[in-house]
Chains A and B, each alone.
Chain A
Amino acid sequence: MTILDRRPRFARTAPGGGTPTRRGPRRSPRPAPDLVAAVLVLVFFAVALAAPSALAPRDPFALDLVNALRPPSAEHWFGTDESGRDLYTRIVHGARQSLLIGVGATVLSLAIALVLGSLAALAGRFVAGTVNRVVEVLFAFPTLLLALLLVAVLGPSAWTQVVAVGVGTAPGYARMIRGQILSARNSGYVEAAVALGHPRGWILRTHVLPNAIRPLVAVFALSVGQSIVWASSLSFLGLGVAPPAPEWGALLDAGKIYVTQAWWLTVLPGLVIVLLALATTTIGKHIQSALEKGEK
């Protein structure tokens, strides 16, 4: 006999609302709205990357000094810069550079991290110890400082940015991968595989590495957003692509002297960076929770 269904929930029927009813976590079959939004944003940027002219048919470099520093309007959605160039067009055309730097830096970073992390976890005592100390020393440098050092050595360019951000963020991921491999190696299923008589190399390939690398899918998505922010920071400091190129960080850098007269030159590119970072982070978060749900 259940009385649960017959009775009104008094929190809801209370006059005037009172405190809102809090519910348990909701598991709807439809995807979460934040995920849908994030995917839409990424699709937009993917188009901007592949065919920027489809979204912004104007020339990102066309000067129009008469219409310089115009605020956002129907004609110039995001306003114009000090040379009268359309900011919206420049942002869309800048997507390719920014995204490629973000993705490239992430791929490089994870590749370095995978090699260092695996060595630190699995190599012999001497090699593992050495790699660990090197990673620890690199880890002690702030990411941006490490990136700045590399730019100083290699000279500013888009490729330098990829390398600088990739190497700068690698030590953290290397530590993470090392931890993942170590915990997979000490797991019950690896011990069970040893007890079944499987050879060491086979266990490493079939159990340890796949289980250690699985969480990296989520990390990858999270990391792209962060790398774009790092790359934009470098451009903002004037250490990225050369000024006329429409890269987002460079746009911010160029706009900063006009920040009192033309807010849109800094605020709008800044928001775009935030939006993209937010979108990749959201997707990363969802991948992560989907993976965790599968594990528990």
Chain B
Amino acid sequence: MTEVLVPDRSAHATQRPAHRRERDAAAAPLLSVRGLSVGFRRNGVVRPVVHDLSFDLPAGHCVAIVGESGSGKSVTARALVGLAGEGAVLSAERLTLGDVDLTAVPERRWRAIRGRRVGFILQDALVSLDPLRPVGREIEEALRLHGWGSRPERHRKVLDLLDSVGVPDPGLRARQRPGELSGGLRQRALIASALALDPELILADEPTTALDVTVQAQVLELLGQRKRQGASVVLISHDLSVVAHLADSVLVMKGGHIVESGPADEVLRNPRHEYTRRLLKAVPGAATRGRRLSPDAPPSVPSSAARSAERFAGLDGPVLEARNLVKRFRAPDGSRSTAVDGVSFRLERGTTLGIVGESGSGKSTTARIALALESPDAGEVTLLGQPWSAVPESRRRALRGRISVVYQDPLSSFDPRWNTERILLDAVSAEYYPDARARRGRVLELLEQVGLGEEVLPRFPLTLSGGQRQRVAIARALASSPSVLVLDEAVSALDVSVQAQILDLLVVLQRELGLSYLFISHDLGVIHHLSDTVLVMKDGVVVERGDAVRILTAPEHPYTRQLVRSLRTLEQS
């Protein structure tokens, strides 16, 4: 339950006699927030997370709340619909939706407001939808709870809604459960249920973060359409291109405070606050190639020159080469699907090969085959000119140190019982460093390379920040002095400014250590920033390959064009 603190509640109610409401509503904004503060009570002490937030949202407008994790943007959105959570303490001078004073709404009346007047779209459709219920039933339930229409009317409305959010074949999809739908369809079904009763206010908390770019563009288009029809939108996002697409005005939040606010054009083109400027500069893309993204200088990398030279002795040609890889998986229903179909690539020394594609395109399977964690059904991978995928694991082990990997979620790749020191010591090869003191020295050298201090050694990854964790993961990957680093969505889960620091670090490491990167991402901007050559994958097949600049400026394949176009519309709007 949320505690609501309103000092002048009674005064407020008497200020607005019924006969004046109509006129006020015409002039007044739909949502008006004055001095909103939210805190969480812990051990009897209130820890504030949102400070003195004020804004007005007129009907048919979109306000975007922008900030990184921990900025308080999600708490703000939840507080607006009375869902700030257990132990939340909320206070506001004014918090009104139309003529309703939201600070005075008892829990039972909230149910009539949520869904009907306010539609709430959450980030992850898979956890927000009941896994056992067909999505059509879920949407119909929203209508039924608010007493909308008769059963056949509701059924027709559900199909209309699904159709309007761009779900193909709504009759079939309505009967399917969330697990049977793709991520994009699920998110659209969730949006359909949030929009079922034509709410005046739509709260969208990272509505497109989990989606592929092409689907993202569709979802944004859908929200834009609702906005044009008169709905107001509160958009919570860390993604500035999404914000640029939809928002009329922008609030930039940092540490629970608004640091900058204003019309979207102005804030995004001429940011006044230092923090906003940093955020905007940190976004990778076509224009940022060869430029540092973060104002924080990356660490100077002590070069382990001796081993670098040794690594490349007598090798001439690609460090990693894949020829006609094929991988099939058996689906639960017994049918076989082809995840990777005839993929070939060459990764030249000291360069970056970007593989871009949407979820299910086979890019991660390709990475796993390159790492020999998965065997291809056909085709072959060679590492440093030696057979790699075709030999048994016992023979691969000697070469394992030459290729290493950084995952999207570093936390799950660390044994939860181990602290940072043990993780890194374990990764430092006993072959090169037989003596315990030398091993420890190497660990310290690795920390220096990734810009971490000695103080993280006794800490468990759980207690480190997302950026620190990813640095530890990179240090572990560097421990065996590899030639090839496979980066599987390695920066996708990070906040934009942390992502900028990690990308800068990767650039420096590549230059100083002569590393080759196999960089896998769904984010064209990141791929564009870092890659020399690019592979575009769709449904397990490479649809286009070539020089990064050429592909992203003059794409040939229709699919690549579609990808690039959705990126551009985000950049230009």
A residues adjacent to B (C-beta < 8 A): 1-5, 7-11, 21-28, 187-189, 191-197, 199-200, 206-207, 210-211, 214, 294-296
Complex Cα distance, B396 from A200, in Å, reads 13
Q: Is the CB of B400 within 8 A of A195?
A: yes
- CB A125 to nearest CB in B, in angstroms, measures 16
**Quick one: given A3-B52, A24-B40, are A211 and B416 in contact (CB under 8 Å)?**
yes
Complex Cα distance, B39 from A236, in Å, reads 56
Interface size on B, residues (CB 8 A): 47
Segment among B1-9, B174-182, B197-205, B563-571 that sits at the interface with chain A: B1-9
Complex Cα distance, B48 from A191, in Å, reads 40
Complex Cα distance, B87 from A200, in Å, reads 47
Residue-wise interface mask of B (78-95) relative to A, using a CB-CB cutoff of 8 A (1 in contact, 0 not): 000000001111010000
Q: Is the CB of B400 within 8 A of A196?
A: yes
Q: Is the CB of A210 within 8 A of B43?
A: no
Chain B contacts for A211, CB-based, 8 A: 415-417
Chain B residue, CB-CB nearest to A184: B415
Complex Cα distance, B41 from A21, in Å, reads 12
Q: Is the CB of A195 within 8 A of B3?
A: no
Q: Is the CB of B427 within 8 A of A196?
A: yes
Q: Is the CB of A192 within 8 A of B43?
A: no
Partner of B5, one of A9, A24, A25, A27: A9
Partner of A11, one of B3, B40, B51, B479: B3
- CB B58 to nearest CB in A, in angstroms, measures 26
**Quick one: given A2-B48, A5-B46, A24-B87, are A196 and B417 in contact (CB under 8 Å)?**
no
**Quick one: given A24-B40, A189-B415, A294-B416, are A7 and B87 in contact (CB under 8 Å)?**
no
Q: Is the CB of B404 within 8 A of A195?
A: yes
Q: Is the CB of A295 within 8 A of B91?
A: no
- CB B562 to nearest CB in A, in angstroms, measures 32
Q: Is the interface of A mostly helix, strand, loop or mixed?
A: loop
Chain A contacts for B46, CB-based, 8 A: 4-5
Chain A contacts for B414, CB-based, 8 A: 188-189, 192
Complex Cα distance, B52 from A277, in Å, reads 51
Partner of A192, one of B3, B39, B405, B462: B405
CB contacts under 8 Å to A, within B523-542, are none
Q: Is the CB of A1 within 8 A of B371?
A: no
Q: Is the CB of A7 within 8 A of B43?
A: no
Complex Cα distance, B284 from A281, in Å, reads 53
Chain A contacts for B556, CB-based, 8 A: none
Partner of B3, one of A9, A25, A26: A9
Chain B contacts for A3, CB-based, 8 A: 35, 37, 52, 91
Q: Is the CB of B412 within 8 A of A188?
A: yes
B residues adjacent to A (C-beta < 8 A): 1, 3, 5-7, 35, 37, 39-44, 46, 48, 51-52, 86-89, 91, 371, 373, 393, 396-398, 400-401, 403-405, 407, 409, 412-417, 426-427, 462, 476, 479-480
Q: Is the CB of A189 within 8 A of B412?
A: yes
Complex Cα distance, B40 from A24, in Å, reads 8
**Quick one: given A187-B412, A211-B417, are A23 and B87 in contact (CB under 8 Å)?**
yes
Chain A contacts for B87, CB-based, 8 A: 23-25
With A26-B42, A196-B476 given, name 6 new contacts (CB 8 A): A24-B86, A188-B409, A192-B413, A196-B480, A199-B397, A214-B417
Q: Is the interface of B mostly helix, strand, loop or mixed?
A: mixed
Q: Is the CB of B413 within 8 A of A189?
A: yes
Complex Cα distance, B5 from A21, in Å, reads 12
Complex Cα distance, B416 from A197, in Å, reads 20
| Residue among A4, A10, A189 with most chain B CB within 10 A | A4
Q: Is the CB of A25 within 8 A of B91?
A: no
**Quick one: given A188-B412, A195-B404, A197-B400, are A27 and B43 in contact (CB under 8 Å)?**
yes
Chain B contacts for A206, CB-based, 8 A: 415
- CB A140 to nearest CB in B, in angstroms, measures 24
Chain B residue, CB-CB nearest to A296: B462
Q: Is the CB of B51 within 8 A of A1?
A: yes
Partner of B37, one of A4, A191, A193: A4
Q: Is the CB of B86 within 8 A of A295?
A: no
Chain A residue, CB-CB nearest to B431: A197
Q: Is the CB of A23 within 8 A of B41?
A: yes
| Residue among B400, B414, B415 with most chain A CB within 10 A | B415
Complex Cα distance, B42 from A195, in Å, reads 42
- CB B483 to nearest CB in A, in angstroms, measures 14
Q: Is the CB of B91 within 8 A of A7?
A: yes
**Quick one: given A27-B42, A197-B397, are A2 and B52 in contact (CB under 8 Å)?**
yes
Could you list 26 A-B pairs, sorted by A, with CB under 8 Å?
A2-B37, A2-B39, A3-B52, A4-B5, A4-B37, A4-B48, A7-B91, A8-B5, A24-B41, A26-B42, A27-B43, A189-B412, A189-B413, A189-B414, A191-B373, A191-B413, A192-B414, A192-B476, A193-B426, A195-B405, A196-B479, A197-B396, A197-B397, A206-B415, A214-B417, A295-B416
Chain A contacts for B479, CB-based, 8 A: 196
- CB A185 to nearest CB in B, in angstroms, measures 13
Q: Is the CB of A7 within 8 A of B5?
A: yes
Q: Is the CB of B5 within 8 A of A10?
A: yes
- CB A205 to nearest CB in B, in angstroms, measures 12
Partner of B407, one of A9, A188, A200: A188
**Quick one: given A27-B43, A196-B426, are A1 and B52 in contact (CB under 8 Å)?**
yes
| Residue among A26, A28, A200 with most chain B CB within 10 A | A26
Chain B residue, CB-CB nearest to A8: B5
- CB A210 to nearest CB in B, in angstroms, measures 6
Q: Is the CB of B404 within 8 A of A196?
A: yes
Chain B residue, CB-CB nearest to A24: B87
